[in-house]
Amino acid sequence: MTTQTVDRPRTGLSRRQRARLGRGVQYAIGIAVVVLLAVKIDWATFSAAFLRSDILARMMPRVITVGLVNTLIYTALAFVFGLTFGLLLAMMKLSSIGPYRWFATAYIEFFRGVPALVVLFMVAYGIPNAFPGFSFPGGTYGMVMVGLGVTASAYMAETIRAGIQAVPKGQVEAARTLGMSHSRTMATIILPQAFRIIIPPLTNEIILLVKDSSLVYVVGVTADQYELTKFSQDFLNRTVNPTPLIVGACCYLAITLPLSMLVRQLERRYAKAR
Amino acid sequence: MTNPTPAPIPPSTPDTTADATADATATRTTAISIRNLKKSFGSNEVLKDISLEVATGEVVCVIGPSGSGKSTLLRCVNLLEEPTSGQVFVGADEMTDPDVDLDGVRRRIGMVFQSFNLFPHLTVLENLTVAQTKVLKRSRAQAREVARHNLERVGMAHKEDAYPAQLSGGQQQRVAIARSLSMDPELMLFDEPTSALDPELVGEVLAVMKSLAAEGMTMMIVTHEMAFAREVAHRVVFMDDGYVVEAGTAADVIGNPQEARTRSFLHRVLNPMVIDASEITDEGVADLV
Ligand SMILES: Nc1ncnc2c1ncn2[C@@H]1O[C@H](COP(=O)(O)OP(=O)(O)OP(=O)(O)O)[C@@H](O)[C@H]1O
Ligand SMILES: [Mg+2]
């Protein structure tokens, strides 16, 4: 208290004023750097190399109708598989039955440790070799669903388990006291609350999946099955110009940014019911 | 009921109520029967050979110091805790029988917790209907009707669309009671239902419980509200260190305790200011004999 009253007349500024001044200086530096870069960059050369509209025109509309659409499909398939199987694994990991717990732990540790690319490759070539005559329902799409989903499920299982454990124990007790069975309690009381808790980390995993879908090329895909990265790379090879990569990157952002916004919306909606 | 304030506690009248209760319990059926119940957590024996009966329509208050095993006893009745040995009967069903339909019996036993445990993701009305529709298989319309009736009983009809987080503690606890009532329970267990409440909110919850007692609901209540126990309980059970030390009418146990441990406990609870700092030991407060 006394130091403050001594301090204040010396600087002539309150703590809040000083904070505002500090922030002003930071903004000024930031703007100066941006302006400097904007002036220094040779826009003509840069855009000639990275933003060629003729190449963009040639990529349209297939970059959307094929690349973007396939990226979305692969992501959605892997997500559905990962979420379903991840939920099952989370239940197994929380089970009172030892072998279930051990299996879930082994699965999660293994597939979180092995690169997604390797898993995808093993699913695509290992399974058909191990079981001759077996082919994935849905062809490439089925293969990708499993190949990416297996890794996704390992991550999601841990997220879901943490979410379930974050629901207070009293919730289970209240539900069981009302005569609900274990599975009924899970489905109507615990999981709805757990999912609200894990929406942010789950979004993270979807966004990682969007980018993991760029690995799909290893399973050997036809031109109609190209996702954004493969599609852009193909153009890159043909045009010997990096513009396709920039276009591809923008398409990825066109997926992830709305996703983040949707999630923020959901979180706000659920804030009241917590 | 919309403006529940506890009536001033009248002085208890030991002789008349005691006789009336004794007569009534003799002819009534047994709602809860606890026989030689023991419960250990690891090597910590929390309940040491408890036997206790609660008659239909009876209100039994369980009192005792913290850690004496009151909550554990209550939770053994509906098997939220599994007894280590002994038997628990609810009506004709043995809860401790491994083949008992636990979910089936539990829906007949209401339970109210210290921390309310309302479902935060559901509205007040949904809190009351969810088990009715999923467990009792009542229709939506019927469940809502029952729910609204019970919200009315606890004076919370005006909040049916609110979420629990939007309610005060006292309101949440009244909704929790209404949620239990919506299952039409045969008996209700209360574990310190007012301990988490601000003092000015305690009265509204006790008033609801008092009206339930007046309607003849069988209740087993763990509480620190001695005035409430004195007025409402047909019988008071004093527990200490895993034993039932003393049991009898409220007037006897609270008004004229026979055991030193009961006297010491009541002395501390009823006169919290009399304890001198020098009496406090590692174990809590030294027993005053
Ligand atoms: N789940 C548990 N695991 C291990 N020990 C437990 C568990 N529940 C209770 N106990 C122990 O059992 C003893 C009795 O606890 P209990 O909650 O029944 O006491 P209580 O009489 O209800 O006390 P309070 O008035 O503080 O609620 C305590 O020593 C407590 O630490
Ligand atoms: Mg307790």
Average pLDDT over residues B112-129: 96
Compute, in angstroms, the gap from residue B240 CA to the centroid of ligand 2.
12
pLDDT at residue B285 greater than cutoff 80: no
Pairing of strands B85-90, B93-94: antiparallel
pLDDT at residue B163 greater than cutoff 90: yes
CB B150 within 8 A of CB B178: yes
What pLDDT, on the 0 to 100 scale, is given for residue B289?
43
Report the Cα A214 to chain-centroid distance in Å: 13
pLDDT at residue B286 greater than cutoff 90: no
Compute, in angstroms, the gap from residue A136 CA to the centroid of ligand 2.
56
> Which ligand is closest in space to the CA of residue B65?
1
| Residue A273 distance to chain B (closest CA, Å) | 5
pLDDT at residue B22 greater than cutoff 50: no
What pLDDT, on the 0 to 100 scale, is given for residue A15?
86
Average pLDDT over residues A239-267: 88
Q: Which of B182, B128, B103 is nearest to A181 (CA)?
A: B103
Q: Tell me the two tokens of residue B53.
A: 């009966």
Average pLDDT over residues B109-127: 96
CATH of span A69-225: 1.10.3720.10
Q: Verify whether the Cβ–Cβ distance B119 to A171 is below 8 Å.
A: yes
Report the Cα B27 to chain-centroid distance in Å: 23
Compute, in angstroms, the gap from residue B103 CA to the centroid of ligand 2.
23
Rounded to 10 deg, the angle between the B169-181 and B124-134 helix axes is: 20
Average pLDDT over residues A131-152: 89
Q: Is A77 helix (H, G, I), strand (E, B) or coil?
A: helix
CA distance A152 to A86: 8
What pLDDT, on the 0 to 100 scale, is given for residue B219?
97
Nearest residue by C-alpha to atom 3 in ligand 1 = B41
Closest atom of ligand 1 to CA, residue B72: 18
Average pLDDT over residues A59-78: 89
| Residue B189 distance to chain A (closest CA, Å) | 10
pLDDT at residue A162 greater than cutoff 50: yes
Average pLDDT over residues A122-136: 85
Q: Flag the least confident range among A80-89, A265-274, B235-244.
A: A265-274
What pLDDT, on the 0 to 100 scale, is given for residue A257?
92
Q: Does A14 touch chain B (CB under 8 A)?
A: no
Task: Give residue-wise pLDDT tens across range B169-218.
Answer: 999 999 999 999 999 999 999 999 999 999 999 999 999 999 999 999 99
What pLDDT, on the 0 to 100 scale, is given for residue A60?
85
Phi-psi region for residue A12, left (φ > 0), alpha (ψ -120 to 50) or beta?
left
What residues have CB less than 8 Å from B145, skipping those under 6 apart?
none
Task: Name every protein residue with a CB atom under 6 angstroms from any ligand 1 atom.
Answer: B 41, 44, 46, 64, 66-72
Q: Which of B116, B218, B261 is nearest to A173 (CA)?
A: B116
Q: Tell me the two tokens of residue B207.
A: 């008033």
Average pLDDT over residues A194-220: 90
pLDDT at residue B16 greater than cutoff 50: no
Query: Which comes out higher in pLDDT, residue A80 or A54?
Result: A80
Task: Please tell me which residue of chain A has the smallest CA distance to B102.
Answer: A179
What pLDDT, on the 0 to 100 scale, is given for residue B27?
56
Pairing of strands B187-191, B44-55: unpaired
Compute, in angstroms, the gap from residue B72 CA to the centroid of ligand 1.
6
What pLDDT, on the 0 to 100 scale, is given for residue B275?
65
Pick B106's closest partner by Cβ from A170, A177, A270. Answer: A177
Q: Tell me the two tokens of residue B136.
A: 């009792």
Q: Verify whether the Cβ–Cβ distance A193 to B122 is below 8 Å.
A: no
What pLDDT, on the 0 to 100 scale, is given for residue A273?
67
Please state the domain extents for chain A: 69-225
Rounded to 10 deg, the angle between the B124-134 and B140-153 helix axes is: 130
Looking at beta carbons, which residues of chain A come within 8 Å of B78?
177
What pLDDT, on the 0 to 100 scale, is given for residue A274?
62
Average pLDDT over residues B229-247: 94
Average pLDDT over residues B269-279: 74
CA distance B89 to B95: 6
What pLDDT, on the 0 to 100 scale, is given for residue B279?
67
Average pLDDT over residues A118-128: 89
Give strand ranges (E) for chain A: none
DSSP string, chain B: --S--PPPPPPP-HHHHHHHHHHHHHHSPEEEEEEEEEEEETTEEEEEEEEEEEETT-EEEEE--TTSSHHHHHHHHTTSS--SEEEEEETTEETTSTTS-HHHHHTTEEEE-TT----TTS-HHHHHHHHHHHTS---HHHHHHHHHHHHHHTT-GGGTTS-GGGS-HHHHHHHHHHHHHTT--SEEEEESTTTTS-HHHHHHHHHHHHHHHHTT-EEEEE-S-HHHHHHH-SEEEEEETTEEEEEE-HIIIIIS--SHHHHHHHHHHH-GGG--GGGEETTEEPPP-
Q: Flag the least confident range among A86-90, B25-29, B57-61.
A: B25-29
pLDDT band at B153 (very low <50, low <70, confident <90, very high): very high
Report the Cα–Cα distance between both ends of chain B, in Å, rounded.
43
How many CB atoms are closer than 10 A to CB A201? Answer: 15
Q: Verify whether the Cβ–Cβ distance A272 to B166 is below 8 Å.
A: yes
Average pLDDT over residues A190-211: 92
Compute, in angstroms, the gap from residue B263 CA to the centroid of ligand 2.
20
Chain B residues at the A interface, defined by Cβ less than 8 Å, are 78, 80, 103-104, 106-107, 109-111, 113, 115, 117-122, 130-131, 134-136, 163, 165-166, 176, 179-180, 183
CA distance to B43, B116, B124, B128, B156, per residue, from A168 (Å): 26, 12, 19, 19, 25
CA distance B132 to A215: 49
CA distance to A218, B31, B117, per residue, from B194 (Å): 63, 24, 13
pLDDT band at B104 (very low <50, low <70, confident <90, very high): very high
Average pLDDT over residues B140-163: 95
Q: Flag the least confident range among B2-16, B64-78, B175-189.
A: B2-16
Rounded to 10 deg, the angle between the A228-239 and A69-94 helix axes is: 140
Looking at beta carbons, which residues of chain B come within 8 Å of A174?
111, 113, 117-119, 176
Q: Tell me the two tokens of residue A78.
A: 């892997």
Rounded to 10 deg, the angle between the A139-166 and A191-212 helix axes is: 140
Q: Verify whether the Cβ–Cβ distance B118 to A174 is below 8 Å.
A: yes
Q: Which of B172, B64, B199 is nearest to A174 (CA)?
A: B172
% of chain B beyond a pLDDT of 70: 85
Pick B135's closest partner by Cβ from A168, A179, A274. Answer: A179
Q: Is A250 helix (H, G, I), strand (E, B) or coil?
A: helix
CA distance A35 to A25: 15
pLDDT at residue B2 greater than cutoff 50: no
pLDDT band at B24 (very low <50, low <70, confident <90, very high): very low
pLDDT at residue B102 greater than cutoff 90: yes
Handedness of CA B169, B172, B177, B178 (dihedral sign): positive
Q: Tell me the two tokens of residue B97.
A: 């029988």
What pLDDT, on the 0 to 100 scale, is given for residue B40?
96
pLDDT at residue A5 greater than cutoff 50: no
Mutate to test the interface with A, among B100, B112, B117 (most CBs of A within 10 A): B117
Task: Identify the helix (H) or strand (E) that includes residue A58.
Answer: helix A53-59
Nearest residue by C-alpha to atom 22 in ligand 1 = B71
pLDDT at residue B167 greater than cutoff 90: yes
pLDDT at residue A13 greater than cutoff 60: yes
CB B100 within 8 A of CB B180: no
What pLDDT, on the 0 to 100 scale, is given for residue A9?
54
What pLDDT, on the 0 to 100 scale, is given for residue A10?
61
Which amino acid, residue A221?
V
pLDDT at residue A143 greater than cutoff 70: yes
CA distance B19 to B13: 11
